Amino acid sequence: MTRFRQAVALLTLGAAAACGQAGGSAPGPGAGGAPPPAAVDIVTLELKPVERTTEFVGTVKSRRSTNIQPQVEGFITRIAVRSGDRVRPGAFLLEIDSRPQQAAIASLEAIRTAREVDVTYARQEALRAQALLTAGAASQQEADRAQNALNAADAQARAVDEQIRQLRTELAYYRVTAPTGGVLGDIPVHEGDRVTKNTLLTTIDENAALEVYLNIPVQQAPQLRLGLPVRLLNDQGEPVATERITFISPSVDEATQTVLAKAPVSAPGGFRTSQYVRAQVIWSTEPGLTAPLTSALRINGAYFVFVAEQPEGAAGNTATLVARQRAVTLGPVIGNDYVVLSGLKPGETLIVSGVQKVRDGAPVQPSPRAPGGS
């Protein structure tokens, strides 16, 4: 039994020694070995057109927007339309009580009848005086007096006719009609309300002729020029249309210290008059570099990126790369990219994903799906 136990012990020690030799021949990362390269996505930086833009809040207005106000005063007796109705030019909108006006016309017509009687009598007297003058039974002075009386009566009759004509013209204003076609806005008045010439009855807007109004700060006004592109954005920041400036105000708004610029809105639908919209004025387009949002890290207020470089002595071996941290200066965001102002050059290889798992000097390997990988 003693020899058997000694043999078992020798076999156990030999196996342990063999295991120790196997483990020592392939040390892992935790035993002092180098970590495996991290798989990252990379792109090769190239110059491409970069826009220099400024975003403003614009107001959409209609070139065919009409404020409807009465031309007479009185009480509203009938409203024939509702807010939101589409009307044609000349459509009947509402009616104002015209009975006082009709009474005034009737009174003047009675006065005109009396004036016509005066004219008839004055004409008869003038004819009689002329006959007596011819017969030598009346003087020239009497004939002239009768003719002057006829002229005065005729003038008074014509004055009454003009007053009646004026009142009849104003009578048509008691029926308010649409001067243009379009969609009715809010109608803040009601039947029975008394309105004056300053009362706003409603508005008529035609969305087919829209403009965007932009108030540009006076500091940026020297950069304005006719034809400058303006990109309109929706609430999600997506481009809807690109227009061009067609008007620049020659003066500065004293209250806001801004210069008014206008651009037509040709995009079909989607915009309403008096709507606020996001508008980007594209000042210029020049070659530049951009970096994806996912490639940048912000540390203590500064931005850093990682570029993939070949270590010394590994020229031509693209599978052997190391990550190098680089401080950069970034500009505005365009889409999903930063505009790179400084810190990177064309032709450099930028790590665009997996930057959280790499460190300066760590080995990296391009992912097979990487846009700029091999």
Domain ranges for the chain, please list them: 53-63+205-286, 73-204
Instruction: For residue range 165-198, list pLDDT tens digits in order.
Output: 999 999 999 999 999 888 898 999 999 999 999 9
Place of tokens 């030999």: 14
For residue 372, pLDDT over 60 is answered with no
Instruction: For residue range 123-132, list pLDDT tens digits in order.
Output: 999 999 889 8
pLDDT of residue 14: 43
The amino acid sitting at 113 is T
In angstroms, the CA 330 to CA 289 distance is 10
pLDDT of residue 143: 87
In angstroms, the CA 112 to CA 99 distance is 20
For residue 5, pLDDT over 90 is answered with no
Mean pLDDT of 257-280: 86
Pick the more confident residue, 357 or 287: 287
Mean pLDDT of 266-280: 82
Mean pLDDT of 146-167: 93
pLDDT of residue 315: 57
Mean pLDDT of 332-341: 86
Q: What is the gyration radius of the CA atoms in the chain, in angstroms?
A: 46
pLDDT of residue 4: 41
pLDDT of residue 17: 42
pLDDT of residue 20: 44
In eight-state DSSP terms, residue 368 is T
pLDDT of residue 353: 84
Residues 6+ apart with CB under 8 A from 52: 282, 283, 284, 285, 286
In angstroms, the CA 364 to CA 350 distance is 12
For residue 64, pLDDT over 50 is answered with yes
- Look over the chain and give the mean of its residue pLDDT values, rounded to a whole number: 84
In angstroms, the CA 65 to CA 213 distance is 14
Quick check: 220 and 201 in contact, CB under 8 A? no
In angstroms, the CA 222 to CA 56 distance is 16
Place of tokens 């003058």: 133
What is the share, in percent, of the chain residues with pLDDT greater than 90? Answer: 54
Could you tell me the pTM of the whole model? 0.57
Helix (H) or strand (E) holding 336: none
Mean pLDDT of 273-296: 90
What is the share, in percent, of the chain residues with pLDDT greater than 70? Answer: 86
CATH number for the domain formed by residue range(s) 53-63+205-286: 2.40.30.170
Other CB atoms within a 10 A radius of the CB of residue 357 amount to 12
Nearest to 263 by CA among 285, 241, 296: 241
Nearest to 48 by CA among 355, 370, 369, 335: 335
Place of tokens 């109608």: 187
Instruction: For residue range 87-133, list pLDDT tens digits in order.
Output: 999 999 999 999 999 999 999 999 999 999 999 999 999 999 889 88
pLDDT band, residue 335 (cuts 50/70/90): confident
